[in-house]
Copies of this chain bind each other. A is one copy, B any other.
């Protein structure tokens, strides 16, 4: 299932850049159209301009580009992802298609407990034995659940109903097409320390593609404390 060139995550997940139309030059030309100017190539003054736009929150020049990502992640991650409305989604269907038995089991160092007060929670890893018990519970649960799902399908129950028993930890996949302004908004929230660890890992994978495709914009974003313009 995992594609060449994709960043692999967890056991069954990935972020794959399917295609991009994204360059720092597009930011600069979108900004310079204000003065009826256009360039064929970037120079140093343009890097300065990108930083200026980022800092002063001139967001629109960052919208003239597109990344099409192909993503596979647990449904509880996808549910957070689909809250982002500026962008396009198409997802694997469980109405007309049987989902594969691919489930999220946290690696031992990611099994964690929540501490602290409302509004200021943090997380701590549990000991390795406790982690192992959790992982076994998850694995057993998933196995029993999937067996039940298959049994319901064998009895002829409609897939759209049988999916009711499937857990949030099952993997789904989708295409996500997004411009870098909306991507930076996603990263500002989902690569943030308050975001759930699992979606943060996805956000970090997205960042590697962003950094490679639009290096000057990416640097300006990081310099701006990952605040989206």
Contacts and interface: CB of A to CB of B under 8 A. Distances in A.
B157 A76 contact: no
Copies in the complex: 4
A134 B164 CA distance: 11
B88 A83 contact: no
Contact of A36 (B38, B88, B173): B173
Contact of A155 (B133, B144, B145, B168): B133
Nearest to A34: B93
Interface in A21-50: 21, 26, 29-31, 33-36, 38
Interface residues of A, number: 87
Contacts of A201: none
Interface string A131-172: 001100110011011001001100111111101111111000
A142 to B, nearest CB: 8
Nearest to A29: B175
A86 B111 CA distance: 37
Given A138-B165, A164-B167, 20 more contacts: A30-B90, A33-B90, A33-B173, A35-B96, A36-B97, A60-B88, A60-B89, A64-B90, A65-B68, A74-B164, A76-B160, A76-B163, A96-B114, A103-B164, A106-B161, A123-B158, A133-B155, A163-B168, A165-B167, A166-B168
14 contacts: A19-B21, A33-B175, A34-B93, A65-B177, A66-B177, A75-B168, A76-B164, A96-B121, A104-B164, A111-B161, A113-B157, A134-B161, A137-B165, A144-B144
